[in-house]
Copies of this chain bind each other. A is one copy, B any other.
Amino acid sequence: MARLAVIAGGGALPARIAAAHPDALFVTFDPQAGNLPDGAEVLHASFERAGALFAGLKAAGVTEVVFAGGLTRPKLNPLRFDAKTMALAPAVMAALKAGDDGLLRTVVGAFETEGFAVRGAADLVPDLTAPAGRLAGRAPAKADLADIDRAVTILTTLGPLDIGQGAVVVQGLVMGIETVQGTDAMLDFVAGTRARFRRDGGVLVKAPKPGQDLRVDMPALGPQTVTAAAEAGLNGIAFAAGRVLLLDRDEMIVRAQAAGLFLLGQEV
């Protein structure tokens, strides 16, 4: 019998998975986590005691795990490490220097070594992604499609470097390339700096990096990003079909319609 554990980070994703998998066990690293479903079975864990976490999962009959929502990098106290965390520490330290992808690969590898199957949230809750086609708004104009193409080229070119998953192009001008600060910070930057170029519109494109493990690190869009894109004066948002999480799709569509933005699933 497969039993699922949800490694719960912030945001609404844990609750979405709980709705589809009511018997899942929820693992949280945050003693104050306020986003766990009512009545769920919860395992409180610490990065400092990986051995205790794995033992607790096995004791609960867990065979597969899903990472749901961003985990903040904790401050760790090496004096509190258990033997398992101690054994994992060198690989984690090396991975931290190699970028976020490396860290995730290391964490995923540790769960797999312990015998857990790692599932993707989008596999467990299929409507978290959307196929190619328009979800909201008018059809993109020719200039929008050209901007989408250029942004896709940028993301594809940068992909091997493990940087961002988003870019903003405005009538051919590249105005934002996502870095570690994230999509919304990039959109704020565009909003604050675009006026002098006197060009209307533009697009945000989100797509995974080549080789990115979509089970644990799928790019995500949510309602806040729709609002930020509108405030940045963009015409719309395009996302890689089936490969970008849409967190609260209904609210995204409502906001996009209200702001006159298109939302477009794109084969990338």
Contacts and interface: CB of A to CB of B under 8 A. Distances in A.
Contacts of A161: 153-154, 157, 174
A173 B180 contact: yes
Contacts of A177: 163, 177, 179
A173 B100 CA distance: 9
A133 B194 CA distance: 36
A185 interface: yes
A205 B99 CA distance: 19
B180 A197 contact: yes
Interface residues of A, number: 26
Interface string A166-207: 000000111111011100010001000110010000000000
Interface of A: 96-99, 153-154, 157-158, 160-161, 163-164, 172-177, 179-181, 185, 189, 193-194, 197
23 contacts: A96-B172, A98-B172, A99-B172, A153-B161, A157-B158, A157-B161, A158-B158, A161-B174, A163-B174, A164-B174, A173-B179, A173-B180, A174-B179, A175-B179, A175-B180, A176-B179, A177-B177, A177-B179, A181-B189, A181-B193, A181-B194, A185-B189, A189-B189
